[in-house]
Amino acid sequence: MTIDVTGISPPLRPAVLELAAQMRADGCQRSDPAREIPALLGDRWTSLILLVLDMGRWRHADLRRVLGRLAAEGRISQRVMTEKLRTLERNGFVRREATADVPPKVSYELTPVGRSLAGEARRLISWVHAHRAEIDSARTAFDADRDLDPQPR
Interface with a copy of itself in residues 26-85 (CB under 8 A): 26-28, 30-38, 40-48, 51-52, 55-56, 58-59, 62, 65-66, 69-72
Give the amino acid at 41.
Answer: L
The answer to whether 66 and 92 are in contact (CB under 8 A) is: no
By CB under 7 A, tell whether 27 contacts DNA.
Answer: no
Residue among 25, 72, 102, 135 that touches DNA (CB under 7 A): 102
Q: How far, in Å, CA of 85 to CA of 77, rounded?
A: 12
Residue among 10, 101, 103, 123 that touches a copy of itself (CB under 8 A): 123
Residues in region 81-110 near a copy of itself by CB under 8 A: 89-92, 98, 100
CA dist 93 → 3, 27, 72, 147, 150 (Å):
33, 19, 25, 46, 49
